[in-house]
Chains A and B, each alone.
Chain A
Amino acid sequence: MRARTLLLLLLALIGVAAASLLLPYGPLRTLFAEDANLAGAVLVELRLPRTLLALAYGATLGAAGASVQALFANPLASPDLTGTTSGAALGAVVTAYYFGFAAPAALAIGSVAGALLALFLLLALAGPKAETATLLLAGLAISALAGALTTLALALAPSPFAFYDAYDWLMGSLIDRSLDQAAFAAIPALAVILLLLRLGPALDRLALGEEVAQSLGHDVRRLRLWIVCLTALGVGACVAICGAIGFIGLIAPIFARRLVRGHPGRAILPAAMIGALLLAAADLAVRLVPLGRTLPIGVVTALLGVPFFLGLVARMRWRVTS
């Protein structure tokens, strides 16, 4: 990636982070005139966690998507399409029955376990070098299973409040999270992204084929295990705090690879930056579009992501038939 592109992405990130902190500006200015302390508290306790979560979650989805796509050598692999996100959501909902949604540590363990289970199931079902169709079918099956089990868990909810809590959380939201909760997602996310970046060169070599990568000194089996575990950890921690948010992990790496001449491993850094940018921008849109009530962010990313995904599928089909 050229230094100029990197700088441009960085500036865009700073811009969207600042906008996310300061917009809408009107109420903040009024509040600042009346009570500067309160305005400061709004900024630090309400808006900062939301901005942090949008950036961390988006970056994790971007980096995890790029790594999973590189590993499966398939541009349609992503945490949500392969069932990782739904596995994490199931793990979190089941855990929440015992500990409630306000226990981030238990939730995180539950959702990381769910994500891991889903990823290993995917590897077992689709195999390490899956064709697009096999990968998507296996991912669909895992998502459907996790979705059904999540619905079952909801149906068996001990009380209407528990049901509503779980339902609300499942739709994916960055709102009303504390700074502690934000840190709980952001710290593992940062660690996971840094570790995934270290695997970038090995993932690039994987573009020469598994055997050649192995002959060049990369232990492909260990690489696969690392990516599965890191992806599950990063996505799981974010899902535990914010619920499931789709399509960022699919879209960000596809844009990112255009910036690095298609190198799947080198795309991890720009994918993380673009993922953060996309989610923070989507969250801003949710906040600024006047609809009476706040749209769940997961719904917005899906509404924007599905047409993109369909376009991608149509283009692949067109390429195959022509």
Chain B
Amino acid sequence: MMLSASGLSLDGRLHDAALEVQAGELVCLVGPNGSGKTSLLHALAGIGGATGSVSLDGVDPRRLGAAARPRAFTYLPASRDLPWPLLARDLIALGGGGGAPAALELEPVLDRRVDTLSTGERGRVLIARALAPRPRLLLLDEPTANLDPLWQIRLMELIRAELADGDRIALVAIHDLDAALHHADRILVMNEGRIVAEGLDGPHVAQVFGIEKVDGRWRPVPR
């Protein structure tokens, strides 16, 4: 067992969340807008003063110093906005060392300023920043947002490949339920600031999301 957390609460947006994730697992967080996915990732990454306990291999990652953090865990925000127009290469280096994973195919844009990149390219640069130090815990908020269909698949496969050594964990907040079903080892369903269920089989899906799968397609639940 590697990551465990309990009693996580944050600013009324996250209530008493608890989870346990084994080494090598890719866990997807799904839930409607405002269900607390980002707040849960924030609480685990030590952003915004959440209460509760977190343990990564017996150590609270939020208590680590700035030098130890990049190799312990990484946080990728959902926003692709950046306050300064740095070069892509420099931005990746600020994450704490290590080069961009070759699979992201960033060579052609490394020497360009991030404000001149397309949203998708910028997204890949930010993902490279998060993955470059090879952290043990990946906390990724909407990593596939703004990526084209091919890159959405390649990115999820890259995350899977990163976990191949069986020693690392990925927690991925994602809206695409089919992608979650396809790529995740486990799916945690969140609603109103709580983890309410595991997996996408059962009546809770219609209750939480207001949609149901009919003949292989997601449709709104008739009122």
Contacts and interface: CB of A to CB of B under 8 A. Distances in A.
A40 interface: no
Interface stretch (B7-15, B52-60, B64-72, B182-190): B64-72
A208 B69 contact: no
B144 interface: no
Nearest to A266: B90
A217 B75 contact: no
Given A207-B94, A262-B85, A263-B86, A212 B75 contact: yes
Contact of B83 (A207, A215, A263): A207
Nearest to A70: B84
Interface string B77-109: 101011111110011001110000000000000
Contacts of A264: 84
Contacts of B139: 215
A215 B82 contact: no
A35 interface: no
A303 to B, nearest CB: 30
Interface stretch (B43-51, B157-165, B170-178, B200-208): B43-51
Interface residues of B, number: 31
A120 B83 CA distance: 22
Range for the number of chain A residues in contact with chain B: 10 to 19
Given A73-B83, A208-B94, A208-B95, A218 B66 contact: yes
A204 B65 CA distance: 17
Nearest to A75: B84
B42 interface: yes
A177 B48 CA distance: 48
Contact of A209 (B81, B85, B90): B81
B82 A209 contact: yes
Given A261-B87, A263-B90, A215 B66 contact: no
B122 interface: no
A211 B49 CA distance: 12
Nearest to B90: A261
Interface of A: 73, 129, 204-209, 211-212, 214-218, 261-264
Q: In the A-B complex, list the 7 residue pairs whose CB atoms are closest, starting with the nearest.
A: A73-B83, A217-B66, A215-B75, A207-B84, A215-B45, A214-B47, A217-B69
